[in-house]
Amino acid sequence: MNPAQTSFAALADLVHQHAKGAPRRVALVEAERELDYAGLATMMDRVACGLQRANVGPGCTVAICATASIEYAAVFLGVLQAGAAVAPLATGTTAAALHAMLKDCDPSLLFLDEAAAAVLDGPVLGAATRGVAPALVRISLGGSAAGFALQAWLDEPAGGSARAPEPVQIAPQAPFNIIYSSGTTGVPKGIVQSHAMRWAHVRRGASYGYSPRTVTLLSTPLYSNTTLVVFVPTLAFGGTVVLMPKFDAARYLALVERHRVTHTMLVPVQYQRLLAHSEFGRHDLRSLQVKFATSAPFSAALKAEVLDRWPGQLIEFYGMTEGGGTCILEAHAHRDKLHTVGRPAEGHDIRLIDESGAEVAAGAAGEVVGHSPGMMTGYYHQPEKTRETEWFDPSGKRFIRSGDIGRFDAQGFLTLIDRRKDLIISGGFNVYPSDLEAVLREHPGVADVAVVGVPSERWGETPVAFVVPRAGPGQRDSRPTPGELLLWSNSRLAKLQRLHSIEFIAELPRSAIGKVLKRELRQRFQARA
């Protein structure tokens, strides 16, 4: 079956077809380990059998919190085969956030590794509750004592039945995964993506050369939509996925050369680190046919450097995990448009609206909203949040609001101007200022606070806090210094969220309606820098 010529197919079914047609073809690679399609299909069957023994199937959710591995990928696919939805949870989060996400998605089982167990069992700071976590059945992916050993769980007696699970018919609109976009101290938002949404990514894959000969190197985590956008099409077309659990520039370059990698997905800061590495020019990277980029602002200068120094196509995706509209920039074909994020993908309707929700005139700036075959069902258990992110045109057509401000040029290329939601993208990961501000407000010495993202050579962006100290008799002697407050707050934040610095300020700049003018704070920081 050619996915590009099929209206819809379940990913698990495609993997099994590849296992029958090319059983010895390598499906997954991790360090020195390999798993061919026959082995992958067998392991998926065993995972699905185990889930069905536990009465886990359609309508259920299974959570995975672990570093990328062959076992992680096989479990993910086995959950899909059983008809359940996967909730891949971030590994570098806080205990409070992890407990909140588990409470929200209410999984039937939790697959995890030792590092995730340490976070889950650690102290919970803030208002999050442990709620569901102690009662969860835990299955360890890494052979540690984090939970019931995966191999033992797979080997449990099946009541005399064979290791072939009961077939499950997968509907296109059935949930494929729930990806969490935010939530350290606040309420996390679980983005429900359907099989149809993922299938839209598969159908697009033919135009990027995906085939059984594809070798995709992934150095971003499997809980990220960024990764799944290329992970899913590679396996759907019968290619090979090389998993890199932790990004390292030297190791990445060596893997490209060793495995003759043809496709890869990187965030802009990874491109920057690779090009800056002393070994970059000493490796044969000519096998790479397509390099993708997404998740963070990608400067025109960096795109140009990639094109100048690295053979092959460079394609930038602009969009949201929530879906809606995607813009695609084929940078290698449009060197005069590197300052843009490209044009709307085929079949994607992207428009710009003003503050009142009306479409703006041609050439004017407005908030980016999009409609496409790849749209989230909604935020899990949060209908009000779902409604807030939706926009409907006069005909009733549903769009997803991005929160980004942009402008189309005469050729239909979109230039981004600013982000209304003040989202900070650090190292390719979303950092929400409101989460950091909530932590700082817990300190008795903080009267007011605003967190903004500022440019960072290492991370792309990094968060900085502007704090109004609490006044009062004797307060000046007892309040913390900026350095002490920085240590206090960073001990309560996830590694990916930690503040770069804290500045004390007498008063936050505000508009006439009381909105904090974060642009002025960014300008203040940059002027001092």
pLDDT of residue 64: 98
pLDDT of residue 433: 82
Kindly tell me if the per-residue pLDDT of 377 is higher than 80. yes
Sequence-distant (6+) residues with CB within 8 A of 184 are: 93, 94, 96, 97, 126, 432, 435, 436, 438, 439, 493, 494, 497
Decide if 233 contacts 11 (C-beta within 8 A): no
Q: How confident is the model at residue 409 (pLDDT cuts 50, 70, 90)?
A: very high
| DSSP conformational letter for 169 | P
| Other C-beta atoms lying within 10 Å of the C-beta of residue 114 | 16
pLDDT of residue 184: 36
Kindly tell me if the per-residue pLDDT of 111 is higher than 50. yes
Terminal-to-terminal C-alpha distance of the chain: 57
Kindly tell me if the per-residue pLDDT of 130 is higher than 70. no
pLDDT of residue 512: 46
Q: Which of 395, 388, 399 is nearest to 344 (CA)?
A: 399
Kindly tell me if the per-residue pLDDT of 510 is higher than 90. no
Kindly tell me if the per-residue pLDDT of 134 is higher than 70. no
Structure tokens at 127: 């208002």
What kind of fold does domain 424-528 have according to CATH? GMP Synthetase; Chain A, domain 3 (3.30.300)
Poorest-pLDDT segment among 173-177, 353-357, 393-397 = 353-357
Q: Mean pLDDT, the chain, as a whole number?
A: 90
- Amino acid, single-letter form, for residue 271: Y
Distances (CA, A) of 320 to 4, 88, 178: 23, 17, 14
170 CA to centre of own chain: 24
What CATH number does domain 3-194+215-236 carry, 1.10.10.10, 2.60.40.1120, 3.40.718.10, 3.40.50.12780?
Answer: 3.40.50.12780
Average confidence (pLDDT) over 350-377: 93
> Which segments within 387-428 are labelled E, that is strand?
390-392, 398-408, 414-419, 424-426
Q: How confident is the model at residue 94 (pLDDT cuts 50, 70, 90)?
A: confident
The kind and range of the H/E element at 234 are helix 225-236
DSSP 447-507: EEEEEEEEEETTTEEEEEEEEEEPP-TTHHHHSPPHHHHHHHHHTTS-GGG--SEEEE-SS
Q: Which of 308, 250, 243 is nearest to 274 (CA)?
A: 250
Average confidence (pLDDT) over 369-393: 93
> Distance between CA atoms of 452 and 423, rounded to whole angstroms?
8
pLDDT of residue 374: 86
DSSP 288-355: --EEEE-SS---HHHHHHHHHHS-SEEEEEE--TTBS--EEEEGGG-GGGTTS--EEPTT-EEEEE-T
Structure tokens at 276: 């800056």
Decide if 281 contacts 306 (C-beta within 8 A): no
DSSP 111-138: EE-HHHHHHHTSPPPSS---TTGGGS-E
Most confidently predicted of 211-220, 264-273, 289-298, 401-410: 211-220
Sequence-distant (6+) residues with CB within 8 A of 491 are: none
pLDDT of residue 295: 82
Average confidence (pLDDT) over 313-324: 93
Of all residues in the chain, the percent with pLDDT exceeding 70 is 92
What is the value of pTM for the model shown? 0.82
The residue count of the chain comes to: 529
Residue-wise pLDDT tens digits, 475-495:
455 678 999 999 999 999 988
32: three-class secondary structure by DSSP: coil
- Amino acid, single-letter form, for residue 318: Y
Burial 45-59 (b: 16+ CB within 10 A, else e): bbbbbbbbebebbee
**Greater pLDDT, 2 or 259:** 259
Of all residues in the chain, the percent with pLDDT exceeding 90 is 69
**How are beta strands 26-30 and 33-36 bridged, if at all?**
antiparallel
Residue-wise pLDDT tens digits, 154-173:
987 654 445 689 999 999 99
* Dihedral sign from CA coordinates of 69, 91, 290, 343: positive
Kindly tell me if the per-residue pLDDT of 358 is higher than 70. yes
> Distance between CA atoms of 235 and 215, rounded to whole angstroms?
10
Decide if 257 contacts 284 (C-beta within 8 A): yes
Decide if 61 contacts 42 (C-beta within 8 A): no
Would you kindly state where each structural domain of the chain is located, as residue ranges? 3-194+215-236, 319-419, 424-528
Decide if 518 contacts 422 (C-beta within 8 A): yes
pLDDT of residue 143: 78
Q: 319-419: what CATH class?
A: mainly beta
Distances (CA, A) of 247 to 217, 228, 310, 409: 11, 16, 19, 36
Average confidence (pLDDT) over 342-366: 94
176: three-class secondary structure by DSSP: strand
Structure tokens at 204: 């697009």
